[in-house]
Structure 1
Amino acid sequence: MDQNDRLSLDQVLHKISPKEYMGSEFQESKLIYSVIGFIPACDMVDNALVISNLGYLLAQKGLNTCVLDLKVFNPNLYHYLDAKPNKKGGGLIRVLKSDKVDFREEIQATKYEKLYLLSPSPHDLIEEYLDFEFDHLEHVINTLKSMFDIVLVDIPNNPPLEFCLGAMKFSHIGFFISTERIEATSNMVRLLDFASSVGISTAKFTSVILMNIQDINYDHKAINEFGLKIVAALPYVKAAYAYSLEGKLYVRDNPLINRYFLKQMRRLTDILCNQ
Structure 2
Amino acid sequence: MLTRRIIPCLDIKNGRTVKGVNFVGLRDAGDPVELAQRYTEEGADELVFLDITATKEKRKTLVKLVKDIALHINIPFTVGGGIKSVEEIEEILKAGADKVSLNSAIVRDSNLITRASDEFGFQAIVAAVDAKRRANRHSWEVFVKGGSEPTGLDALDWMEKTEQLGAGEILLTSMDRDGTKSGFDLELLKAANNRLSIPVIASGGAGTIQHCCDAVLIGNADAVLAASIFHFREIEISDLKAKMAEEGISVRIINN
TM-score range, shorter chain: 0.3 to 0.5
Whose radius of gyration is greater, 1 or 2?
A: 1
TM-score by length of 2: 0.40
The structure showing larger relative contact order (alpha-carbon pairs under 8 Å, at least 6 residues apart) is 1
| Structure richer in strand, relative to its length | 2
